[in-house]
A and B are shown apart, each in its own frame.
Chain A
Amino acid sequence: MSMEPVIGERRVHFVVSEELYPLDVIQGASYLFIDRCYVWLDRPADKQVQVVLRSKGQAGAEELEALAGEFANELLNQALRKNIGDTNAKIREFVMARAFFAADMPSTVDRLLAELDAEEMAVDPLEISVPWDHKAGGRPPAGSTDG
């Protein structure tokens, strides 16, 4: 079987190889067409998915062929999106976990400022160079949280 579209009355069907496109990519592309078409997915053979797009309104052969072409392009986009997601999944999980579930931590900048302040304090026992806004209570003391 090939991916060449077969056009019928208000419908077009074609077969997608799962060796080229994973099922969730095919499903992801299908989902984006449900406003314009009724979408049927079937498995005519192992590792093959048949896609049937039935137009919700009148559609000529040219429109149906364009629809199949658009679906094919969307498969490529969905495949790229899946690659982007899979490759970065662990990093994103880490970042999200840190954002929502880790105890509030001072940002890198806050931490560097705190280190600089600590160094200043170490050589300045009289606290003459304590920044004015610390004295005024304007900035949180080093090491405080932002939460």
Chain B
Amino acid sequence: MKGLLTTPLRVDPTAFAGDKVAFFRYGAVGERVLISNDTGEWAMLSPQQFDAFYQGKLEEADPLTVELGEKGFLRASLDLESMSAKIRRKKAFLRSGGPHLHVVVATLRCNQACRYCHASRTDMDRVDTDMTLDTAKAVVDFAFQSPSSILNFEFQGGEPTANFEVIRFFIGYAKEKNRYENKELIFSMVTNMTLMTEEKMNFLLDEGVMLCTSLDGPKDLHDYNRGLTGSKVGTYDQVDHWVNRINAEYVRRGMDPNLYHVDALMTTTRASLGRGREIVDEYVRRGCRSIHLRPLNPFGFAVNTWKQIGYTMEEFLNFYRDAADYILELNLQGVQIQERMASIFLTRLLTPDDPNYTDCRSPVGSGTATLAYSFDGSIYTCDEGRMLGHMGNDFFKLGDVRGSAWKDVAHHPTVKAVALASINDALPACSNCVYKPSCGIQPLHNFMFDGDLFGQRPRSRKCQEFFGEQSWIFQRLAADTDGRIERIFRRWTIQRPRTTSSSSEGSA
């Protein structure tokens, strides 16, 4: 009976030197004690150093005094203006204007029946679940009302290429409209590749649409998770063919393959457990520089198949640590690949900025940084909220592109409630958690598991997941005697920007 969030440290609250020590949070990382503060600064101390620190007994000449002073842990050297500036920079996303990520469900139809399908798909003959051209136009018109200077349209489904006519129209109309709006437009698509053709590929690449597919690992694992409807035939071979074909086409067009390639996402099922290294190898073999080791979401069909494909969070974290350690081993051998979730936490921990990953943020980006549009024009806070809507619960629905005014959606009570429920400075357990500055909340997960947006941290799977992943980072840093791991982690925080122009960066 070990607790996740209890503190395995012996402390003496009566010895706290409030006149010398500034605000900090703390927690144990193996034999070390991690401290962090509101600006996102952190330090790892020995238990003896920690005692001396909070009891105000650090010697002035101790190098640790200088380090902790510079990081804002000691009252004598507090620079309040600098602290405010650091926080303002970390939270710069709050001033970005409005939703920039617009998830567009072109259709619910899909020719696959994945065991964990998050999207609550319909069969291929259900053309009534296609977005119409009129709805697509209304979505574009609505999204352009966002004050954000960037609009990122992400096409999802179902399988979006099943309704390609709408994709063509959507992109053309958005680009035409943007001649007068002058926003930065980004298009991306999550596709299973099974309905891809040369013509569709050329259109998508011509229009600068970034492509992402699902790849769960080696062929047998991928095919087990992701089969075609009505048969047990897997889709690995088609994914393999089109990823190679599209990547080759990028190269043929003179684009840097390090920046321009098909991205891939994996979902961990029970069948993935114990196979993390093989999954990583599959990604490395394809030249992928990033892999997001994602646990199952309790949405869509996964709710019904949980007993078959689900697992405990402890099982997932064992899988995560094993795969992430392997990724580090590969990095030490010169192979460039990062774990995506770790890179998000590391960007917050090792740089002055926040990567603005809307799914793990405080406050979360649902409704304030993202909106999702279902095929019928319904507007939701985020794609997961839309999925929940397809399961019959419209709690996260904000309106409709035809009937709702922008300000009514932007100021919708649900948007405010979701934001309030995800400010981790003000949530029990989060507010004192040492990982608070680098962590985020997903109220929708709380809603799914606990039936309310706020949830209870010690029982939250997302809390266990994020806590476990950040613990892995700090455990590796604590054991990093020669700085090699920190150098790798710093590399994971560097993101080279893509441009929509083709070959100007060449192949560096």
Write out the residue numbers on chain B whose beta carbons fall within 8 Å of the beta carbon of A98.
80-81, 84
A92 contacts partner chain B, Cβ-Cβ < 8 Å: yes
Whether B6 sits at the interface, judged by CB under 8 Å, is yes
Is residue B87 within 8 Å, beta carbon to beta carbon, of the partner chain?
yes
Nearest-Cβ distance from residue B6 to partner chain A, whole angstroms: 5
Is the beta-carbon distance between A99 and B432 smaller than 8 angstroms? no
A108 contacts B13, C-beta separation under 8 Å: no
A110-B79 Cα distance, complex, nearest whole Å: 14
B88 with A32: CB separation less than 8 A:
no
Chain B residues 1-39 with CB under 8 Å of chain A are 1, 3-13, 16, 18, 21-25, 38
Residues of chain A within 8 A (CB-CB) of B88 are: 99-100, 104
Size category, B interface: 35 or more
B4 to A, closest residue via Cβ: A35
Asked, given contacts A55-B1, A85-B23, whether A73 binds B87 with beta carbons under 8 Å apart, the answer is: no
A83–B3 touching, CB < 8 Å = no
Q: Which of A32, A67, A82, A99 has a CB less than 8 Å from the CB of B84?
A: A99
For chain A, residues 32 to 49, give those with C-beta under 8 angstroms from any C-beta of chain B.
Answer: 32-36
Contact B23 A83 (CB under 8 A): no
Also in contact, A83 and B87, with CB within 8 A (given A33-B6, A35-B4, A98-B80): no
Q: Is B506 an interface residue (CB 8 A)?
A: no
Structural contact, A99 and B10, CB atoms closer than 8 A:
no
In the complex, which of the residues A83, A94, A147 contacts B80, with contact meaning CB atoms closer than 8 Å?
A94
Say if the beta carbon of A81 comes within 8 Å of chain B: yes
B407 within 8 A of A: no
CA distance A144 to B84 in the complex (A): 17
Q: What chain B residues lie within 8 Å of A63 (beta carbons)?
A: 1
The answer to whether B6 and A32 have CB atoms under 8 Å apart is: yes
- A57-B2 Cα distance, complex, nearest whole Å: 12
Q: Is B491 among interface residues, defined by CB-CB distance under 8 A?
A: no
Candidates B1, B3, B38, B81; contact of A108 at CB < 8 Å? B81
> At the interface, yes or no: B459 with Cβ under 8 Å from chain A?
yes
Is residue A105 contacting chain B, with contact meaning CB distance below 8 A? yes
Are A96 and B458 in contact, with the CB atoms below 8 A? no
* CB–CB A88/B22 < 8 A: yes
Q: B428 near A: Cβ within 8 Å?
A: yes
CB <8 Å contact, A35 and B91: no
Residue B404 at the chain A interface, CB threshold 8 Å: no
Residues on the A chain within 8 Å of B82, using CB: 107-108
Q: Are A79 and B81 in contact (CB under 8 A)?
A: no
Task: Check if B458 sits within 8 Å of A31, measured CB to CB.
Answer: yes
Task: Report, nearest first, the 9 A-B pairs whose CB atoms are least far apart.
Answer: A87-B18, A88-B23, A35-B458, A98-B84, A79-B13, A99-B87, A80-B13, A77-B7, A99-B84
Chain A to chain B contacts (Cβ below 8 Å), 19 pairs: A32-B5, A35-B459, A76-B11, A76-B13, A84-B18, A84-B21, A84-B23, A84-B24, A85-B23, A91-B22, A91-B78, A92-B23, A99-B83, A99-B85, A99-B87, A99-B88, A100-B87, A105-B81, A107-B81
